[in-house]
Amino acid sequence: MSRTPTGLTIAKIRGVKLRVHFSLFFLLAYIVFVASGQFPLIVGQSGINPFMIYGSPVLWGVVFALGLFLSVVLHEFGHVWVAQSMGVKVSGVTLMMLGGVSEMEKIPDQPFAEFKVAIVGPLVSFAIAGLLWALGAMVSSPNTQLFAYWLSRANFVLGIFNLLPAFPLDGGRVFRSLLAARQGAVQATATTVSLAKGLAWALGILGFFQFNMILMLIAVFIYSAASSELMISESRGLLHGITVGDVGVRTPSLSEDTPLKEAASLMFQTRSRVLPVRAANGQPMLVSLKQLRRVPRDSWSEVSVKDLMIPCPLVPESTAPLEDVLAELASVEFLPFVEGGAVAGVVRYQDLADLVDFRSLDEGFSGKTKKAG
Ligand SMILES: [Zn+2]
């Protein structure tokens, strides 16, 4: 099961955290490498006199890669703004290999809501391509013309590529939302996922024979994203009607000043690898056994939980539907939950995944399930 990637937060725009996944640094470096190699070809195709162009191919590669990065940010925020305009809460955007992953609440259950959110991304890319093209036609500086020509072309390709009818690309969502109107959401997802897997195989084989690493990576990415999309789509149906409190494990909570020694013994007693912390600022946090292990055991009496506790992207009420925390839980594995204003326990991704597995064994199963695992 793949997880939503974590990354480095670089900005916060209108309440939405912009994160950069580590794969992107690798990709940017690769793009600089490829772009600087292709530079003479691009100059040739642009029809601009090469003697009028300043700067080395590597410098141009860097400028191009940064321009492409900004273009992808705009594309991604296109999705975010349309979703926000429908009242969908968006907590963050993680930019990675092929674009981005937006952590948003479930999009309203009307087929065209998903359609609108998805289609705006390629439209933004096409709009950038058009604007850059117009810019290139208006300016007289050969360097600006070259920049506009190159990035315009790249945005056009980005728009076309994202329209391919395969998850996790926008085209996959557009295609699914159109299918969903006729087949229902789960069946439409299954069809689009099969299509995505077929495309992933085709790209992978093509990439292998052309020795194109980017194509092969894209193939792997599409394949795994398509699989997890299917899992999430099926889970939503299976988890319907179950709340965080039904699955979450009730545990005692720690205060900030609890020494690690005490925290460890409480973890042992409750057989819980993670415990909630009542931080002084009122925000529930988490501390895990994994973190405890990073501190030498002989200082467990002196170090307190305060130095290790981590904040959480979401602190649901025990009455919140599980479907609403699915995406967050898949990315962070554990979330604290509250009941009647007080920290009540921890809900684990593993419990939820187990529950989905067991429920899918018996689809006819109805009614609420009390605490799995
Ligand atoms: Zn997109």
Residue with tokens 């590597």: 58
For residues 1 and 127, membership in a common domain is answered with yes
Q: Are residues 261 and 336 in the same domain?
A: yes
The residue from 216, 238, 260 where one domain ends is 238
The alpha carbon of 338 and the centre of ligand 1 are apart by a number of angstroms equal to: 34
Report the pLDDT averaged over residues 165-185.
82
d(CA 114, ligand 1 centre) in Å: 12
pLDDT for 260-277, tens place per residue? 999 999 999 988 889 999
**155 and 172 fall within a common domain:** no
Pair 5, 91 in one domain: yes
**Ligand 1 center from residue 361 Cα (angstroms):** 34
Last residue of a domain, one of 174, 205, 238: 238
Q: List CB contacts of 234: < 8 A, sequence separation 6 or more.
A: 186, 189, 356, 360
12 and 36 part of one domain: yes
Distance from Cα 15 to the centre of ligand 1, integer Å:
19
Q: Do 201 and 141 belong to one domain?
A: no
**pLDDT tens digits along 80-89:** 899 888 888 8
Residue 366 forms part of a structural domain = no
Question: Do 197 and 260 have their domain in common?
Answer: no
- Are 70 and 58 found together in one domain? yes
Distance (angstroms) between ligand 1 centre and the Cα of 332 equals: 23
Examine residue 18 and state whether it is found in any structural domain, yes or no. Answer: yes
Distance in Å, CA 142 to ligand 1 centroid: 31
Assigned domain for 129 exists:
yes
* CATH code at position 280: 3.10.580.10
Find the angle CA(347)-CA(349)-CA(350) to the nearest 5 degrees.
110
Query: How far away, in angstroms, is 273 Cα from ligand 1 center?
Result: 37
Asked if residue 79 is part of any domain, the answer here is yes
Residue 102 C-alpha to ligand 1 middle, in angstroms? 9
For the chain, give the mean pLDDT: 83
Tokens for 350, please give them.
Answer: 């593993």
Whether the CB-CB separation of 332 and 210 falls below 8 Å is answered with no
Task: Please give the average per-residue pLDDT across 190-197, as a whole number.
Answer: 85
- Residues 269 and 213 grouped into a single domain: no
Given this model, what pLDDT does residue 110 score? 67
Q: Please give the order of strands across the beta sheet that includes 284-288.
A: 254-255, 274-278, 284-288
Asked if residue 176 and residue 51 are part of one domain, the reply reads no
Residue 276, domain extent: 244-361
In a domain, residue 46? The reply is yes
Assess whether 170 and 228 both reside in one domain.
yes
CA of 123 to the centre of ligand 1 (A): 9
Does 373 map to a domain?
Answer: no
pLDDT at 119: 94
Task: Assess if residue 53 is contained within a domain.
Answer: yes
Residue 367 lies in a domain: no
Nearest residue to 222 via CA among 160, 164, 156, 158 = 164
The closest alpha carbon to 199, from 180, 178, 223, belongs to: 223
Q: What is the bridge-based pairing of β-strands 254-255 and 284-288? A: unpaired
Cα of 276 from ligand 1 centre, angstroms: 36
Which of 64-68, 84-88, 127-131, 324-328: highest mean pLDDT? 127-131
Q: Torsion over CA of 12, 24, 70 and 101, rounded to 10 degrees? A: -60
Distance (Å) from CA 80 to ligand 1 centroid:
10
Residues with a beta carbon under 5 angstroms from ion ligand 1: 99, 121, 170
pLDDT per residue as tens digits for the range 49-106: 777 778 888 898 899 989 998 998 899 889 989 988 888 888 788 887 566 667 776 6
Stretch 191-200: mean pLDDT, rounded?
A: 87
Ligand 1 centre distance from Cα of residue 78 (Å): 8
Decide if pLDDT at 372 tops 60.
Answer: no
pLDDT number for residue 346: 93
Last residue of a domain, one of 163, 189, 220: 163
pLDDT for residue 369? 41
For the beta carbon of residue 60, count every other beta carbon within 10 angstroms: 23
Ligand 1 center from residue 166 Cα (angstroms): 12
- The listed range with the strongest mean pLDDT (123-132, 254-263, 273-282) is 123-132
Q: Is there a single domain that holds both residue 272 and residue 357?
A: yes
CA 140 to centroid of ligand 1, rounded, Å: 33
Question: Domain count of the chain?
Answer: 3
